């Protein structure tokens, strides 16, 4: 095997009952070390070669240190929307193959999943069904609809899938129960406790000029996550379509998020011990006695200690407000 080149091969899948064409990227200078795994699910109309095309992105991110060294893997799934046997293939069979052959870690904290469009849908479905299996998911313009029940009537949000993709994936006529069982918004509601407790890092985004109107479904999913008090990052990207020049920058942003998910996430915890100076500064602020303009700065407001200092600055007010916040039907802390 030449780790300097993408691996293109086929592996047998018992879950799918066929050979699956796969592609694997190795980090620059790979020497067989145990590495995290990033599963990249391609969009509709693409195949395993889309990962090969993305190799410069991954090489640059790993070389610069913005993304941890990892093995990135994809495969060809047609227009399956990753239904039926693809779930077991992604969650179990494929990672096990990569572990046997290349030593990738099978630990959940070392496993991330991402995808664009149909791949975004698939990555959300896999992560929300199996939140304990992944550390992070990043879905770009996912093929999700703004509904909890299957819509048979043609509308502005589903014109691209009704009577075409849907019947090929979920049956003709569409089996509404199967559709709901795969729908990311339904999975968020059904598995909310598991998703929250797993600590899964979630990133969803879409362009606000998406040709398929997927920003409607992505916004709906964001609000569903919000209502279930599940932490996540959501972006509605201005002037961005489903394809085009916005995609490279959006891919960078999504993978920077995955990097945080693979390396612990939180950059600046609040629960750290403050110095005497920081405590005095916070007390003065709380008592309405700000520092003079020419005073030496006590802390860096952009630094890693800033959230802890800010928490102390507002501690008296928060203590009075917590009961009101806890009783509010419209405001809940994640």
Contact 228, 188 (CB under 8 A): yes
Confidence of residue 330 (pLDDT cuts 50, 70, 90): low
The length of the chain in residues reads 334
Q: Which residues pair with 204 in a beta bridge?
A: 139, 234
With residue 233 as reference, give the H or E element that holds it. strand 233-237
Range from 131-140, 161-170, 307-316 that averages highest in pLDDT: 131-140
Task: Kindly give the residue spans of alpha helices, DSSP state H, lying in the chain.
Answer: 49-53, 55-64, 86-88, 94-102, 118-129, 165-170, 176-182, 184-190, 192-198, 214-227, 247-262, 276-286, 306-313, 315-327
The CATH 3.40.50.1820 portion of the chain extends over 7-262
pLDDT value of position 329: 66
Min mean pLDDT across 24-33, 85-94, 289-298 is at 289-298
Mean pLDDT along residues 96-109: 98
Q: Is the pLDDT of residue 324 over 80?
A: no
Q: Is it the case that residue 296 has pLDDT exceeding 90?
A: no
Query: pLDDT at position 83, please?
Result: 96
Q: How far is 49 from 203, CA to CA, in rounded Å?
A: 24
DSSP 8-state assignment for residue 25 = E
Which residues partner with 136 through β-bridges? Answer: 112, 201
Helix (H, G, I), strand (E, B) or coil at 119: helix
pLDDT of 294 > 80? The answer is: no
79: nearest Cα among 49, 114, 119, 110: 119
- Distance, in Å, from the CA atom of 178 to the CA atom of 284, rounded to the nearest integer, reads 59
B/e letters for 296-317, b = 16+ CB within 10 Å, e = fewer, are eebbeeeeebebbbbbbbeeee
Sign of the torsion angle spanned by Cα atoms 116, 121, 123, 128: positive
Helix (H, G, I), strand (E, B) or coil at 39: strand
Over pLDDT 90: what percentage of the chain?
Answer: 86
Residue 334, pLDDT above cutoff 90: no
Burial 176-186 (b: 16+ CB within 10 A, else e): eeebbebbbbb
User: Of 211, 17, 19, 21, which is closest to residue 7 (Cα–Cα)?
Assistant: 21
Q: Span 181-206, mean pLDDT? A: 98
Alpha-carbon distance of 236 to 148, in angstroms, equals: 21
Average pLDDT value over all residues in the chain = 94
| Mean pLDDT value across residues 64-69 | 96
Any idea what DSSP says for residue 74? E
Q: Which CATH architecture has domain 7-262?
A: 3-Layer(aba) Sandwich (3.40)
Residue 60, CB-side half-sphere exposure with 13 Å CA sphere:
9
What digits encode the pLDDT tens for the residues 225-279? 999 999 999 999 999 999 999 999 999 999 999 999 999 887 788 999 999 999 9
Q: At what angle do helices 276-286 and 306-313 cross, to 10 degrees?
A: 40
């Amino acid at each position: 095997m030449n780790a300097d080149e993408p691996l293109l091969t086929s592996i047998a899948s018992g879950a799918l009952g066929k050979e699956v064409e796969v592609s694997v990227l190795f980090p620059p200078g790979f020497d067989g070390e145990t590495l995290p795994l990033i599963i990249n699910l391609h969009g509709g109309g693409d195949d395993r070669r889309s990962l090969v095309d993305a190799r410069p992105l991954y090489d640059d991110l790993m070389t610069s240190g913005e993304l941890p060294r990892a093995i990135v893997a994809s495969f060809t799934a047609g227009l399956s929307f990753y239904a039926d046997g693809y779930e077991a293939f992604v969650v179990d069979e494929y990672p096990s193959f990569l572990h046997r052959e290349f030593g990738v870690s099978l630990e959940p904290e070392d496993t991330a999943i991402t995808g664009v469009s149909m791949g975004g849908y698939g990555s959300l479905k896999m992560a929300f069904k199996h939140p304990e299996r992944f550390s992070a998911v990043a879905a770009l313009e996912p093929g999700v609809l703004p509904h909890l029940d299957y819509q048979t009537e043609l509308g502005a949000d589903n014109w691209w899938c009704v009577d075409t993709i849907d019947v090929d994936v979920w049956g003709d006529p569409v089996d509404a129960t199967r559709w709901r069982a795969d729908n990311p918004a339904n999975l968020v509601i059904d598995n909310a406790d598991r998703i929250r407790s797993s600590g899964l890092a979630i990133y969803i985004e879409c362009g606000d000029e998406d040709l398929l109107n997927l920003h409607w479904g992505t916004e709906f999913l964001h609000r569903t996550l919000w209502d279930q008090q599940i932490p996540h990052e959501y972006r509605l990207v201005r002037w961005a379509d489903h394809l085009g020049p916005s995609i490279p920058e959006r891919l960078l942003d999504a993978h920077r998020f995955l990097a945080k998910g693979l390396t612990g996430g939180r950059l600046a915890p609040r629960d750290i011990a403050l110095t005497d100076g920081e405590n005095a500064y916070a007390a003065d602020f709380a008592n309405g006695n700000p520092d003079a303009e020419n005073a030496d700065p006590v802390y860096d407001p952009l630094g890693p200690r800033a959230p802890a200092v800010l928490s102390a600055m507002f501690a008296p007010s928060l203590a009075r407000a917590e009961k009101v916040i806890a009783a509010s039907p419209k405001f809940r802390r994640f």
